[in-house]
Structure formats: structure tokens, C-alpha cells
A and B are shown apart, each in its own frame.
Chain A
């Protein structure tokens, strides 16, 4: 069985122009969306959609997803599909909390990373050494990690003061900080609800308010990953193992070594994400704390086309919708329906310009339905808000999956000396 099933790109070679949107265009699109959002906010009065608090919460919720996604990125760039991220995260939450409540949060973070690495070593042994199907091995790790964390909790947390079989004792906080002056000023600006200015202030303000040091580290890991993977010899070798391991081998690269390293680093990221959950997001380990974030991280990575920047965007999207959900989502999401409807109008116009009339009509129809829905209701069902991030991911993937490009040898078995 080959595990090359994740988002198998159907269009192998999209024309060069299609593949990349140039930077100015991208900036223009972002600016456009921002302006539109601002307009929608003014129309609907749903100030929550760009408030500092919303953005700050979104960031906090995005961090564990982004870390899991980075974990996925490292493994898959070296050709190993890692669906065991969830399990490695679970190990991260447990180990992080276990060390954290005894020796302080920083030690906890180190142990969380270690815990994730432990799960990753298993995954590497199975997939790299034994060539077990990557998804199968990942599923096994998820089961095993769950059992391990529960079993260990019985021995450690149950007797500890303030803990139980499902919960660790509280861990000291890492503390949070604001950027002096800037955060307050941006928040004030955001409170004014001015057109565009307040929205940008909210967006930037959310990124500098109420930060945990671990959040800063996590955010920094995105460019760091990019730099290491794309700008260093180590990264080049690692990526070559995911693109064409036989070629790498023919140039003297020890493919096994790099795959092992990549998977272990991947586990470390997942473990860090887990530690973030148990140390920063809440200050205890809880049974079931990861709640599928490992899988979501994987989705964010695919969403981001196996690139750190795209992945961060995907994680941000999940974080944002999740935060909408927790912060009075029903009215905010209602406002976003209007935004979506307007965006679809633009989409339809673009399609008409491209002379693709049938899709244009369909898009316009959907847009009309959205407008009607917006006008006809005051809020959306709570359940829709909960489902929003998943629906958005599905939609985005179905529009872009064909442009996605996974590493060529991702998920494929490799054995030294067996290349043709």
C-alpha cells in the first residue's frame, strides 16, 4: 500500500504563471479583503469581527494548530506522512504538564517536546525502517498515545494534590506581556470603530496584546522553519528526501538519517503544540485536551500547500473561526455571510471576465442566496458557527486542491539501494 493519497495533485504541471500569485497581487488581494471586511463591519455593526480581543484570541487558538501543522510540514517535506501528530500532541500535553507542575513551565515545555519526539521515534521506526504504511502507523500511534497518557495519569496525577486521573495539578504560568504603549494605543484605535484604521489596529493589536512568550516562540518558528528548510544545506537535504530520495541517495545523502531527523523534529513540534495546550492555553493537563487539533494541523498544512506561510494562514483561519465561535459567534458569523456574499459577487465578475459563464452564474446564484439569507435572519445557528472552520477548509480545498503540490515522494516507501 502506498500512502500517497493525501491531496494527490491531479494537475501535475500547472503552467508556471498559474502556480504563483505575485507578491503585489497578493498584497492587493489582502488589502481588498481588508477594505471589504471593514465595509461589512460598518454596515452590520458587528465590531467583533476585527476587534483586538478577537484577533488576540484567534492567535492563541491558532498556535497549537500551527505547531501541529509545522510538525506535519517537517515530516512531509522529508516524505513521511504524519497523521500521528494527534498522538504526539497528546504525549506533549501529558509530558508537559507532568514536568511542568513539578519543575516549572519551562521544564514542562522541554518535556512536552521530548514527549512528542518519543512518539515520533516510534513513527519513524515503523515508517522509515519497516516501511509500514504511513497513515496506518500514524493511526496506531494515536491509539497508543491516548492509552499511555491515561495510564500514566493514573499513576502520577491521581495522587498529586489538586490533580485527578483526568487532570494534572495546576502549572505555574509563563506569564503574558504586552508591547508597552503600542498595545494600548492600538486597542484605543480599535475601539474607535473607524473605517479600516480600526480594523488594521485590531489585526495588529491582536498580534501584540496579551502574548505568552511561547506564543512568540511559536510564531517565530514559522519563518525559522522556512529559513532552515529553504535556506540551509540541512533543509535542502531534508527536502530532497521528500522529493526524490533515490536522487538524494545517489549524491551521498543518508536518506534514513534525514527522514528520522525530520520525523523526530516533527514530533517535537507536535509535542510543543501539546505543551502549549496544557501549559499556556489552560494551566493543567486534561484528558482529551487536544480535541483533534493534530488532524486540523495537518489540514492547515495541506491548506497551506506544504509551505510555512500558507500553513500559518491556514492555522490563522482555524484560529479565527474558532475564536468567532467562542466570542459571540452567531452575530459575527452572520456579518461574515454578507462578506462572503460580496466576495462571491467579485468571484462571479471575475469568472465573467474569464468568459466562464456557467460557473459565473452558479457563483452569482450562491451569492444571491447568501444575500437573502443575510437579510432574512439576525444570527446564524450556533451549530453553523461551530462547523464554519471545517466547511471553509473543505471549500478552500475543493477550489485549490488541484493547485496544491505535495512533495513528490511523500508517503512513498523508500529502501536504500533499491532505486532504479
Chain B
């Protein structure tokens, strides 16, 4: 079992796609069983016994499990009864408990994951590529998955395994390759590597730690969320009983495994989805019923998690992107409620942002699509900060940004915080989360299940709460030698009875 680690955007998925024939390499060779191969499509790779479970599910929602599994390999067992028997057989053998005739859209993430694995096994793959299979699974499911993988390994299959959870990697992998910016920067053997060493290898330098400077938290509440509930179609709660307060000058960090309600929470706060019950108040005004535009005008800033979908008009020039989201505000427009656009003003201000935030671009007339991801992010941060928000939603503010820019963005957030900004910080980078936050909350399954003090908590301890293993107030427990906690060490949570404690105003 070979693990592949690297930063976001290091090229892990890309490399795997090349192995799987989805993309073509410009140079270099691939050898399978000692034989040099060149794949022109996944079909070739599949024929060579390579199977891949993708980072993002590759399932057609409106097709049944059976159809998804047999697709592309109909020759093996047909698309009818034979295939159904085969699926049952594989499912039983590896304990995947997959129902062949269910529609994929009715399945949960863990089930989908198992369908993906089944797809690969159905094709009789000998080399299994798993791209971040655990990102969306709860611990029990992760354990079950690893159990399956070990079984596969024992049957002689090779597994390539990608994960950001270094503890996980160290516990299951036989060998680790680290890549950075598209090249291999090292290999490691789990037995004599610590997570911290691995992390430093990934980043290529000392980890920049976003140290917490002195607290600037005031007692002036800016954002108050009370018993917020959000339902999916059909009445299932995706957010339930969410209650918290963020004060002026406070950064509230929200930890959680992707898919536990963060996206929905952001959408409820920004006004893209309306709450089914509960209230949201901004500086005392109830804003639950306000439309998005009014919220933004009244000082809600937004650094979206997916900048391409929610933050930019990719084919518009930079200066128009600078207007996006603040079209009614100066300097973008003038007149009553910003009726008239002010392109001159916007262009000038865009130049200022490009300068001040070090957006690397030859001009403000190029399209946003032609900037690199990091520079796009800097533009977004600059835009949001320029309007002096009272409350900032920062979702993965430094995702895909280089180390230098990362530090710069952190500085920006800290500075605004000093001036009384309230921030909701959501990040997959636990170091960032711990380093930047004044308060930490953990979201799990649509509920706030735990809180912690960022001053003392370690990423590992936080991680255990994120998987639902620990709830309540998390205390740091000193264990062995401070810095390097053992891989996979569970924090012993002093689970208090009350699951969602009232926010303690500091």
C-alpha cells in the first residue's frame, strides 16, 4: 500500500489521472508489471488492471448502482442478471453491502464510496488508486475501509492511496511519496517519520504557523445565530440547532470534515438559502429574511470556498470582478442605491487592490481566468477587505495559495480583526484554523458538537472531534513530548453531557 501526500494542488490527482489514462503525460514513462505502457484512455488503463476511485465521485446520480458499476465493462457480465449476481458476490465477499438496484442519488457518501470501490473490483483491477477516499467518511467508515483495503492487499493487489490526513497515512501505508508543485520531493517510511516531518516535507519549508497574537475580542456581538435549522428536500435536517455568537474582533474557527454542513451554513449566512427555523442577527438587526444583496451591503464579506463558482466571473476582466458582490457600493457605482455603474472608479480601485495585495497580473483588463489560482484568491480577499466588512465569512481563505501569499492573507485578516472585524473561519487546514481563531467550534453532521480553546488544542485532538468521536468541550491533554504527538493518537475528550454548549462570551 503506497501513500501519496502533498499540499492542495500539488498535483497528486493530476498524477493519478495520468496513471489512469485520463490525461496524457508530456514526458516520462509508466511501467506496469515491468512493462512500459502508454495509455490513451482509461479503457487502456482498465485493461491493464488499473482501477481508480476518484477524489470527486464519478457516479451518475440518475442511474442505478448496477448501471454505474457495469458501465464501460458491459462485456464482462452483461448488464442484467449476470452483472447483478456478480455485484452481489463482490459485495458479500468484501462486506460492502451494496444494493444493485438502488438509485445512486438516494445513497449517502459512504455508500457511494463503496460503489466506487465496487466499480473498480468489478473490473478485476490489480492496482487500485484511491484519491482521498477518507475525506468524507466518519471514523467507523474509515476503519471499515482500511479493513477492506488490507484484505485486498493480502490478496496481492497494489493500492495507491492519497490522503491529507497524515495520521491515517502513517498508520496504513507501507511507503509514502511526497510531491510538491508537481515533482517528487521525497519518500518516507511510516515507521520512522512523524506527521510534522512529513508536513514539512510537503510544504518544503518550516511550516509557517499562524501564531495567535494578543486577543482583540471585544464583548460587542456582531453575528448572533440562534437555533438555526436548515432542511434538505424531504425534511432531513442538514443544519440543526446551530447557535453561536461572534464578537467584534473575534475569529471563530469552524472545524469539520467536508460535507458536514459547512457549505449550508455559509449559504444560510450569506442568504443563498433561507433558514427553516431560527434567527440570524447582524449587530443586533435580525437579518434572517434579508436578501443576499442587503446583507452584503450591510457589511457581510464573503471569501467563498469555491472561488470559480461563487467568487469570480472567469471571463470578465479583473475590474469587473472587483465590482462583483459590491455593485451598489462606492467606488463601483453612484446614484441612488448605486443605480449607475462607475467603471472609472472601479478600475482605479482595482489598480489599487492589485498593488496593495500583490496580485500578479500585467493589468486589470485581463480576464480573471488567466490569473493563477492564488492571484485570483488575492484579488477576492482584496475586494472583500476593501469594503470594510463588519462580518467576514472566510471559507478556506488560503486554499491553493502559496506560502508567501498565505501569510499575507493571514495578516490581512488579523489586521481587520484588530479593527473590530468578526470572522467566521472555515478551513481544512487545521493549523491555520488553530493559529488564527480565537474560538473553535466543531461541526459534525449539521450540528455544532464540540468547542475548544485554540491556545492549547492540537490538530489531532481537534481531528478526533471532527469525526464525531469526541464531543463537548475539548481539553488538551499533555501527552509524551509536546510537539510530535504520536500518529493516530486519540485525544481523550472530556465529553461533557451537553452536546452544544452555549457560547461562552469572553
Contacts and interface: CB of A to CB of B under 8 A. Distances in A.
A and B touch in the complex (CB under 8 A): yes
A13 B71 contact: no
Contacts of A252: 41-46, 72-73
Given A233-B79, A249-B22, A249-B42, A15 B234 contact: yes
Contacts of B54: 250
A236 interface: yes
B42 A408 contact: no
Contacts of B68: 247
Interface stretch (B58-66, B372-380, B422-430): B58-66
A417 to B, nearest CB: 5
Contacts of B72: 237, 248, 251-253
B56 A420 contact: yes
B105 interface: yes
A239 B168 CA distance: 38
A243 B42 contact: no
B119 interface: yes
B58 A250 contact: yes
A246 B58 contact: yes
A237 B63 CA distance: 11
B23 interface: yes
**Interface residue tally on A, bucketed by range:** 20 to 34
B62 A251 contact: no
Contacts of B234: 13, 15
A244 B60 contact: yes
A13 B63 contact: no
Given A236-B71, A252-B72, A417-B22, A247 B60 contact: yes
A14 B103 CA distance: 13
Contact of A12 (B20, B73, B233): B233
A322 B167 CA distance: 70
A16 B103 CA distance: 10
B79 A239 contact: no
A16 B60 contact: no
B67 interface: yes
Contact of A244 (B24, B44, B59, B75): B59
A396 B68 CA distance: 32
Nearest to B45: A252
Interface in A4-59: 11-16
B233 A13 contact: yes
Given A244-B58, A251-B73, A408-B62, A236 B79 contact: yes
A247 B59 contact: yes
Contacts of B23: 417
Given A12-B233, A16-B106, A250-B54, A240 B60 contact: yes
B254 to A, nearest CB: 24
A407 B54 CA distance: 22
A407 B71 contact: no
Interface in B76-118: 78-80, 105-106
Contacts of B61: 243-244, 408
Interface in A391-412: 405, 407-408
Contacts of A420: 55-56
A419 B79 contact: no
Contacts of A250: 20, 22, 42, 52, 54, 58
Contacts of A417: 17, 22-24
Contacts of A173: none
A178 to B, nearest CB: 38
Given A243-B61, A244-B61, A237 B233 contact: no
Interface string A164-184: 000000000000000000000
Interface string A77-121: 000000000000000000000000000000000000000000000
Contacts of B57: 247
Interface string B24-39: 1000000000000000
A334 B62 CA distance: 42
Interface centre among A239, A251, A407 (most CB of B within 10 A): A251
A417 B17 CA distance: 9
Contact of B46 (A246, A251, A407): A251
A253 B233 contact: no
Contact of A248 (B46, B71, B119): B71
Given A249-B22, A254-B41, A417-B23, A407 B62 contact: yes
B70 interface: yes
Contact of A13 (B24, B41, B74, B105): B105
Interface centre among A237, A250, A407, A420 (most CB of B within 10 A): A250
A148 interface: no
Nearest to A417: B23
B443 to A, nearest CB: 22
A15 B58 CA distance: 23
Interface string B349-360: 000000000000
Given A244-B60, A407-B62, A251 B233 contact: no
A2 interface: no
B107 to A, nearest CB: 12
Interface centre among B24, B42, B46, B70 (most CB of A within 10 A): B42
A330 to B, nearest CB: 44
Contacts of A237: 71-72, 74
A215 B61 CA distance: 36
Contacts of B74: 233, 236-237
A132 to B, nearest CB: 16
Contacts of B73: 251-252
Contacts of A239: 60, 63
Contacts of A419: 22, 58
Interface in A58-85: none
Contacts of B20: 250
B63 A243 contact: yes
Contacts of B17: 417
A243 B72 CA distance: 14
A236 B67 contact: yes
Interface in A212-266: 231-233, 236-237, 239-240, 243-244, 246-254
A21 B483 CA distance: 61
Closest 10 CB pairs of A and B: A252-B43, A251-B72, A233-B74, A243-B60, A247-B58, A244-B60, A252-B42, A250-B58, A252-B72, A13-B233
Interface of A: 11-16, 231-233, 236-237, 239-240, 243-244, 246-254, 405, 407-408, 417, 419-420
Given A237-B72, A250-B20, A253-B71, 18 more contacts: A13-B233, A15-B233, A16-B106, A231-B79, A236-B67, A243-B61, A244-B60, A247-B60, A248-B72, A250-B54, A251-B42, A251-B46, A251-B72, A252-B42, A252-B72, A252-B73, A417-B17, A417-B22
17 contacts: A11-B233, A13-B105, A14-B233, A16-B106, A233-B70, A233-B74, A236-B63, A236-B71, A236-B79, A240-B71, A243-B62, A243-B63, A244-B60, A246-B58, A248-B72, A251-B42, A417-B23
